[in-house]
């Protein structure tokens, strides 16, 4: 396209290579017009030395799979997910903690503030009896204790 010299002066440039024109007419036509436009653009870019990114191949591979939008996540890997538009995401494990307490018969126990005060830093009663390997009655076993702390 040839741009008249008067227009170039009005735009403040000397050569038409320094101007980018905006196409104000939509490209309507056949159903495959978009595909044809893409092929022409790809061919032109390759001819001037551009290379197609590996990202394109990745997205083409993704098209082999079907995806479904399940909306915002509410639970992920046992964690409760709360989305706050102002502060971002909040993850907590309240459900898992309550299940663990229930599994070990501690659902009615009272919580304490952490960290425990400095008066509890001493080891008390360390010369007492060790925990049994298997529990009996009210006595907790080593395996139950390991399960509680995640070992």
Q: What is the pLDDT of residue 78?
A: 81
| Region 122-136 average pLDDT | 54
Q: What is the pTM of this model?
A: 0.34
**Structural domains in the chain (count):** 2
97 belongs to a structural domain: yes
Per-residue pLDDT averaged across 94-104, rounded?
Answer: 84
First vs last C-alpha separation in the chain: 74
Residue 134 has pLDDT above 80, yes or no: no
Q: Does residue 145 sit in the same domain as residue 89?
A: yes
pLDDT at 132: 55
**Cα angle for residues 28, 30, 35 (degrees, 5° grid):** 90
Task: Give a yes or no: residue 17 inside a domain.
Answer: yes
> Which pairs count as long-range contacts for 107-110, CB under 8 Å and 24+ apart, including other chains?
none
Asked whether residue 90 is domain-assigned, the answer is yes
Spatial separation of the C-alpha atoms in residues 106 and 60, rounded to whole Å = 52
Query: Which of the pair, 106 or 48, is modelled with greater confidence?
Result: 48
């Amino acid at each position: 396209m040839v741009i008249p010299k008067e227009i170039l002066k009005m735009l403040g440039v000397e050569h038409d290579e320094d101007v980018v024109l905006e196409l104000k007419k939509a490209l309507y036509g056949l159903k495959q017009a978009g595909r044809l436009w893409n092929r022409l653009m790809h061919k032109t870019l390759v001819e001037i030395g551009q290379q197609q990114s590996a990202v394109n191949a990745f997205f083409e591979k993704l098209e082999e799979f079907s995806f479904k939008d399940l909306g915002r996540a509410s639970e992920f890997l046992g964690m409760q997910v709360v989305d706050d538009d102002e502060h971002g995401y909040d993850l907590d494990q309240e459900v898992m903690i309550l299940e663990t307490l229930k599994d070990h018969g501690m659902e009615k126990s009272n919580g304490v503030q952490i960290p425990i005060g400095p008066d509890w830093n001493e080891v008390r009663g360390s010369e007492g009896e060790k925990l049994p390997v298997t529990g009996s009655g009210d006595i907790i076993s080593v395996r139950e204790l390991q399960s509680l702390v995640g070992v």
